Structure 1
Amino acid sequence: MLKLNNKIFKLLLIYVIFSMVIISSAVYAKTLRIDLRGMGRSLDDVAGRELIIWKVDERILSSDQRQALVESLNDRPDDSLTYDKMKLKSNSEGFLDYDFDKGTYYARVLSSNSKIDIYPFSFVAKADDEQIIYPKGHHETPPGEVKLFKISSDEKPLQGAVFRLYRIVNGKEVLEKRDGLSEFVTDADGEIRIDNLLMGEYIFEEIEAPKGYRIKEKKTFFQINQSSTTNVRIVNYKENEGGKVFRKVSSKTKLPIEGVKFVITNRSSGYDKRIKKDGKDLVLTSDKDGYFKVDNLPFGTYYLFEIKPAAGYYPLSSEKSFQIDEFSLDKVLFIENEHIEIKKHKIKKRIPKTGDISLILMSALGLICSIMGAVLIKENK
């Protein structure tokens, strides 16, 4: 009887262990399909393709987190990735099914000279997900590109400016690299061209200006749209050039004043000479926020003259002097105007008083005229 009980106990134990394995597999592993077949792809392109897949996190990362992860790993060689990895191969129909443990994965489809390239991709495996993963091929969602044009204030292309490129991912700046390099240099035409950029917001950061020039704006933001070229134009100051930002406001309320016009002069031998652009006087106009700006002026002292004040405001009584130097763009110069206040005077109506002297005089004169008229009439008779 004891032996029989031992046998039953062993069978029950085996059953429990087997059940735990089955349940564990059902809970912690998920069969997912990675389908390399896409629109326009032939079986020759996708059948028998080798993949390397790394498990990069036990957690289920968000799409933004995965995008940032993919971008951070794309330029790293396979042997530098220290995550747990597996090598798989698509079947004769171009897909594979595999039981993935719960977590986040990063995958690369190995390149082949005779077959299409497929982007590295990430995916998650979780118990309630029946997803089929469709990696994107390079030819199916044409990425955007950017062309940077680097010029001087007189429109000459500038060679030798050095930039870094960042993509904004989940509010953070992620450095873009090409062939392991993170710096891009303008060529003889002042251009940098970078392709295969995903849609989104980017930053060009200038880290070194061409010889004889200074960096004007360190960071330039731009947007990449799918299948299009974005042109970015960046101007450099010469080493002895700068600019100034002004703001026109009410002296009382400090609110912006729009539409005020100005000219700028520099003084030579006691005379003011107006700054010109394209052969005409440079006229600056304050915008709806009161701002206006002058740029690309040689270092020195300049004078701002108001030539058209805003309606309802007194014009400036004199010119405003300002300095152009290496740091003149760092601080805004406020120009204040005084509002014209029109005082309204009430006119009191005068009501004659009884016994007023003027009324008495007028009555007396009327009486005299009447008597004289009567006398003249009597004499004529």
Structure 2
Amino acid sequence: MDLKSNDKGIVSLKGLEYGHYKIEEVKTLWNYVINKEPIFFDVKENGQVIKLEMENKKIRANAELIKIDSETKRPLEGAEFELWNGEKLVGNYTTNKDGKIVVENLEAGNYYFNEIKAPDHYEINQDQDLSFVIDKDGETKTVTAENKVKTGELDFTKTDVTNGQNIEGAKIEIVGIEEQNKHVKFEFTSSLAGNKFTLPEGKYEFRETQQPEGYELSTEVGTFEIKGGEIIKANLKNERTTGKLIFTKTDVATGEVLEGAKIKIECLSGLDKGKVIEFISSKNGNEFELAAGEYKISETQAPKGYELTTETGTFKIGEHGEVVKCNLTNKKFEIVKTGSSLDVNALIPFGIILVAGGLGALILSKKRKLS
């Protein structure tokens, strides 16, 4: 027969006949463990009163919360939670270095975790369902909570150290150096408009892996920090690849350095393409620092008393610190005599000057690097 205990936990049964009996629990309260040990007894005497006792223990179980990064699944330390059983606060807990909270010996009930403080650099997440039910003795209920890392904006520019203008074509590498962003590592090419990125909070290093054409590779390792949703600006500068031109203007016959010639240098390729430099030759020669590229050099006006050199030469600056020596020669005007009785001075008032044609020469020396 089936019997049920009253509100005092008592089961009464009268009128049992003589015999051997067994009592077995088939159902208990929702928050208790069924006692599977049957009780045996014997009725041997008329009017005998037999008292029996059966015990039930409460359901006890454990709860585990695992806190992870929503993107990398890395465990997160330092998140703070409340644990509630219905409307009753069980306690406050903080995730350990493994991202875990373990609460033991919980009674049966309906529970939920509520996040009250996110780990550093992460957004608090109160929208997840972190509820669970304890209804089996000895079990461990596990819930997983995720957090998104906070982000900010990086505005990166690559500029010419000389004029501050943006440079395109440099390859840049950015690497995260903190726990919450060390998975971030990427390379990009600089653009004239700059480069913008949304990045997780934290500190970063950036370096140039390939320089733009016409520039030296920057060996600088820069750092920046993304925090608080701010727009962070980062910049890396490049020095132009430059070399030196040493120019001399000389007499083709004597090697004497000449001053007063007008010379033009035109850049044919490189960062200064189209740029023209015009100068007057000096007794001490002329020196110029030039950006890498190809150049054309010519004479536009000869020194006084010399033929105009029509020779046009080219040279190239290819390496940083390279030195190119360039020499243009001129030949003096000569008066051609047609006879011993010719009076040259007598011809000048009539606007007649007799000259022998003679072109100068362009000489470029072998290139060398600055020591």
More strand by share: 2
State the TM bucket, normalised to the shorter chain: 0.3 to 0.5
Higher gyration radius (CA): 2
How does the TM-score come out when normalised to structure 1?
Answer: 0.32
More helix by share: 1
Larger relative CO (CA 8 A, sep 6+): 1 or 2?
1
